[in-house]
C-alpha cells in the first residue's frame, strides 16, 4: 500500500509527459534556432520551429511561409519572450494554404528538414533564410484576450456577507 501512491504519481507524470504536445508535433528534433542554422550550415537537420507569419506565398504546387521564429512552449506553441526571436525562416509545404486563414501574425509550428537557404530582402537588408521542407504545418487557434476584473478586498469591519 505504501508503494501505491508513488506509483500513481509516476504514472500520472509519464502520461502528462506523453500528452504535452499535439501528436503531429511530437518527435526528436535538433535543438537549433533559425539564427543558429544560418550561421552554421545545418542542411538536412530535422527541426521543429514555430513563430508568427510575416507572409504567406501560395505558389503553383506548394505554399511557402515567411516566419519570425519564437521560442516554443512545452506544448510546441510559439510564444514571445521579451522580443527575443530566433531569427527568420521560410517553411514550404506541398498544397494550397489560404493566406486569408494563414494571415499575418498567426502562430504556426512546423516540423521538417532544413533543405537549403534562400536570400531575400527584409527592408533594404539582405537576409539569409534557412528553408524548411515542412512535413507538418500546425496552425494554432487565435489567442483570445481576456480582461480579468477583480473586486477590492472588503475592509475588515465590513464582514463577509
Domains of the chain: 21-139 (2.40.50.140)
Question: What stretches of the chain adopt beta strand conformation (E)?
Answer: 46-58, 62-72, 78-79, 88-94, 107-122, 125-139
Give dist(CA 147, CA 87) in Å, integer.
31
- Name which of 145, 88, 153 is nearest 122 in CA terms: 88
- Contact (Cβ atoms closer than 8 angstroms) between residue 65 and residue 57: yes
β-bridge pairing 125-139 and 88-94: parallel
The pTM (predicted TM-score) of the whole model is: 0.76
Report the 10 Å Cβ neighbour count for 132: 28
- Cell 519564437 locates to 70
Name the residue among 8, 13, 3, 33 with its Cα closest to residue 114: 33
The reported pLDDT for the residue numbered 155 is 60
Neighbouring-strand partners of residue 56: 65
Per-residue pLDDT of the chain (161 residues; tens, 9 = 90+): 455 555 555 555 544 445 578 888 998 999 999 999 988 888 999 999 999 999 999 999 999 999 999 999 999 999 887 677 889 999 999 999 999 999 999 999 999 999 999 999 999 999 999 999 999 999 999 988 777 777 666 666 555 55
pLDDT at residue 120 in the model: 93
> How far is residue 77's CA from residue 102's CA, in Å, rounded to a whole number?
16
Query: What does the pLDDT read at residue 84?
Result: 76
Q: What is the pLDDT of residue 145?
A: 78
Amino acid at each position: 500500500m505504501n508503494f501505491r501512491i508513488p506509483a500513481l504519481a509516476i504514472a500520472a507524470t509519464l502520461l502528462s509527459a506523453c500528452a504535452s504536445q499535439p501528436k503531429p508535433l511530437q518527435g526528436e528534433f535538433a535543438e537549433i534556432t533559425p539564427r543558429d542554422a544560418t550561421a552554421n550550415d545545418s542542411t538536412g537537420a530535422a527541426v521543429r520551429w514555430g513563430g508568427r507569419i510575416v507572409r504567406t506565398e501560395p505558389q503553383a504546387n506548394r505554399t511557402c511561409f515567411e516566419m519570425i521564429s519564437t521560442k516554443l512552449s512545452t506544448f510546441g506553441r510559439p510564444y514571445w519572450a521579451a522580443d527575443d526571436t530566433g531569427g527568420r525562416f521560410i517553411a514550404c509545404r506541398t498544397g494550397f494554404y489560404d493566406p486569408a486563414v494563414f494571415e499575418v501574425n498567426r502562430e504556426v509550428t512546423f516540423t521538417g528538414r532544413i533543405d537549403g537557404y534562400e536570400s531575400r530582402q527584409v527592408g533594404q537588408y539582405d537576409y539569409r533564410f534557412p528553408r524548411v521542407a515542412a512535413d507538418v504545418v500546425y496552425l494554432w487557434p487565435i489567442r483570445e484576450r481576456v480582461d480579468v476584473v477583480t473586486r477590492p478586498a472588503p475592509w475588515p469591519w465590513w464582514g463577509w456577507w
